[in-house]
């Protein structure tokens, strides 16, 4: 026997749950059973596919992060931002008085990839600072200050992009509204809690190897050998100067605070001479 009915004023999932409770309370004779069909059956199958897609998304995210960071533990610290999205999803659905539907589950699957980028921005910057010799706690604090602006920019862009969908401003968007509401709630809570939770988990995790700071290139000007003569300095020429130019006066040089070396390229023999420059 088949019973057909339409749901009006309530979500199909809620009506199906109430009918299931009533049928479970009835003691049926042996050989009799009940099953749902139509939209309820399709919704259950869709939920099963969505949960499978969510699990595969989490696995792929972990594999990609492990290959990029070359570690099996650091991706776990990054993925602690994923459960934080569920808090915002539940609060947003309750605030908009929406039910957990197929579109909201699709929004949750989207959030798995969106909220991970906040943790990646923080941890990647902290790792770079640690490679330069900075301590772990200082690197995390600096990463939170520097990466706060990109996190807020991407968060606000996503929120304002989902506002027309979440508030059902277009015609026929009431069915797709839970997806925008779930995305907005999950992005907000993740952006607020990720800069706090992820650094704490990363700080208590196993510290990875830190490379030695890279030596800076020696760009200092090579000194030219000099000898003292009176109160000044006499620069020794690498090539014998010509009689017209002269290398430097052998007489006393007036006292200066700093001596600037100028190179004369006249004739074939290049030499150095003293150019006194009094700096205030």
Residue pLDDT, tens place only, 241-265: 444 444 444 445 455 444 444 444 4
Domains of the chain and any CATH numbers? 39-204 (1.20.1640.10), 226-277 (no CATH)
* Predicted pLDDT of residue 60: 92
Mean pLDDT across the chain: 75
Q: Within a 10 A sphere around the Cβ of 135, how many other Cβ atoms?
A: 11
Task: Give whole-number Cα distances, 151 to 116, 219, 256, in Å.
Answer: 11, 37, 54
At a CB cut-off of 8 Å and minimum separation 6, what does 47 contact?
102, 105
pTM, full prediction: 0.62
The confidence score (pLDDT) of residue 185 equals: 93
Which tokens sit at 102?
């197929």
Q: What is the predicted pLDDT for the residue at 184?
A: 93
Say how far apart CA 77 and CA 72 lie, in whole Å. Answer: 10
Q: What is the pLDDT of residue 229?
A: 45
Q: Which segments of the chain have a pLDDT < 70?
A: 170, 172, 205-280
Structure tokens at 35: 């099953």
Read off the pLDDT of residues 176-192 as tens digits, 9 standing for 90 and up: 888 999 999 999 998 89
CA distance 95 to 102: 18
């Amino acid at each position: 026997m088949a019973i057909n009915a339409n749901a009006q004023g309530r979500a199909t999932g809620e009506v199906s749950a109430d009918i299931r409770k009533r049928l479970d309370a009835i003691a049926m004779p042996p050989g009799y059973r009940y099953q749902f069909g139509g939209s309820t059956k399709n919704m259950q199958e869709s939920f099963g596919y969505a949960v499978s897609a969510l699990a595969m998304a989490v696995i792929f995210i972990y594999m990609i992060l492990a290959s990029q960071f070359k570690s099996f533990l650091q991706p776990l610290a990054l993925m602690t931002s994923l459960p934080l999205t569920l808090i915002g999803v539940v609060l947003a659905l309750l605030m908009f008085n929406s039910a957990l539907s197929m579109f909201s589950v699709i929004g949750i699957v989207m959030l798995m990839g969106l909220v991970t980028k906040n943790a990646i921005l923080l941890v990647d910057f902290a790792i770079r600072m640690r490679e330069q010799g900075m301590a772990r706690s200082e690197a995390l604090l600096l990463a939170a200050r520097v990466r706060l602006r990109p996190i807020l920019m991407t968060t606000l862009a996503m929120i304002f992009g989902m506002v027309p969908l979440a508030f059902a401003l277009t015609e026929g968007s009431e069915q797709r509204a839970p997806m925008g509401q779930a995305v907005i709630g999950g992005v907000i809570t993740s952006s607020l809690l990720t800069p706090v939770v992820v650094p704490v988990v990363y700080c208590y995790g196993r510290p990875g190897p830190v490379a030695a700071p890279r030596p800076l290139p020696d760009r200092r000007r090579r000194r030219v050998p000099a000898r003292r003569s009176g109160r000044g300095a006499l620069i020794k020429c690498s090539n014998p100067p010509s009689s017209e130019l002269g290398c430097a006066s052998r007489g006393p040089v007036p006292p200066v605070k700093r001596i600037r070396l100028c190179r004369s390229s006249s004739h074939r023999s290049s030499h150095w001479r003293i150019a006194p420059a009094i700096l205030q």
